Structure 1
Amino acid sequence: MGLSKPKIVDFAPLIDRVEGRLSSLTTFLNYGQILTMVNSILSSLPTYYMSTIKLPKKVIMHIDRARRHCLWRKTAEVSAKTHSLAAWDMVCKPKNKGGLGIINLEFQNCALLLKHLDKFFNKQDIPGVKLIWTNYYPDASLPPHACKEMGSFWWKDIIRLIPLFRAIAQITPHGEDSALFWKDDWHGTDPCFAEQFKVLFSYAAKEDISIFGFMNDQNLTNQFYLPISPQALQEWNTLQNLIAHVSLNNEDDHWGYKWSHPGFQSKQVYSLFYDHLSVDLPLTFIWKSKCTLKLKVFLYGF
């Protein structure tokens, strides 16, 4: 990885490796064996790249073409047209949600890159994390996601994932200015205060104030545009009761997550992309059955 953003041609070795795995022998495999090959080999080849940088959509398109060709093809020629038995978006869904469980590379790329934000916001003792905080965010009065984009092409791609990261994060504030008072989920009351107290938030003078900055100055004159409405005043009293027990110290904030397992897990993030889909009970029964994978894929297509 250089100082400039990689071009499409720079990913040619990756695309060639994926297409090079399309052996003519796969034409003699059944759909169950081909599905295993797509998931275990072709989908795993870009993992190292996706853990480091955001892949361009055109690169993902080329890799998906090779994976789709491997799954449905009838000839050994990569350029030959194939007749897909199901839409690609559909087969990329999890098996219990109506798909074949093939990894969606765009979603997987985002899930893998979020680990960099986990290290960054938790201020892990890593040289790269220290370098970013020191060079890009020397002023600790504003959280990083309240500042304008800055830094290298790599870091800009990472910080554009902050809205997704904040949606899955649960912050425990201690005293650092790494989280927003109004817009981040830090009090354990979902949704955030900006959504919970909409009328009061409409009077806020500093919408992007940090938790530390608000807790140290709760003067109505400094925090809101006066006068405020009676409903806003009622919400202010409710908000004060909620944050009355909050105490801050000089330790780093802790960014946890809304799932039950401790620590960041890319697998959990990936599953959230399909969390809104309902479970397909007949297909769940098929995939959990003890018949061979060949028959399971056949029943899926049937």
Structure 2
Amino acid sequence: MSQGPIATEAAAPTTPIGGDSLLRKVAADRLALLGLVLVVGLIVVAALAPWLAPYPDQGRGTPDVASANLAPSGAHWFGTDQLGRDMLSRVLMGARPALLISISVVMGAALIGVPLGAIAGYRGGWIDEVLTRITEVFQSFPPLLLAMVVVALLGPDLKNAAVALVVSWWPWYARLVRAEARSLRERPFVAAAEAIGVPARTILRRHIVRNSMTPVLVQATVDIGTVVLAAGSLAFIGLGAQPPSPDWGLMVAEGRSQIFTAWWISTFAGLAIFVTVLAFNLLGDSLRDVLDPRKVRR
């Protein structure tokens, strides 16, 4: 798993774009519109999963061994797993924890990385050196490997997996915002604020952090899908969500031993992960093109 900041330098303060203007620009891009539709659809499914699932109890993990390993049919559109649970219900119920953990991880990583990156980039000197060295230590480990180590120490669990992913994710936001802050601190509006005696914390909040939000927003949008994949990977190897949780990665793991005889167990859960990652990647790329003032669109 690889990841990294999408932008590294700020060429100018972010130009705010109104909500209506942003929606119009996204709607004009077919791929962006597809991503937006898919993301909205995923959110709706996650919110309404208990009512959309044809067998909500089975979706939560209640077995029905008499119906084990049934192929897709009119009664079970996605078939059933080795415990007789309806796979359509399981996939639908799995949308909520997938989105919740991904949003929680991205928010947690941003809450840690953005302030540290802003302070390091704006203050410079020994503060920058110390924070940068700490960030580099964390980035010296592959993110998924670091997450695996943290989960192994805390114990296999969905919440612990979220904590582990935050630990491995925040350095990317710190590096991203640090680069933005280093550029912004040389801008005339920052120098003017310093000249009239505006406190450093106010400059950080109003000028540095606020004008760094565009690349952070883009990075966070893409990362939501990537975290879904990472959380699924941890569940696949037994370090994330535990049975009978309706976790997509766990479903893929449960069906791998029967991939040739009951292919539907892993396939539909894997497709759910694929669609989620694709949706947020499409939306994130579109936001980058729309919000980047340096981007020349043809």
TM-score range, shorter chain: under 0.3
Normalised by the length of structure 2, the TM-score is 0.27
TM-score by structure 1 length? 0.27
Flag the structure with higher helix content: 2
- Name the larger-Rg structure: 1
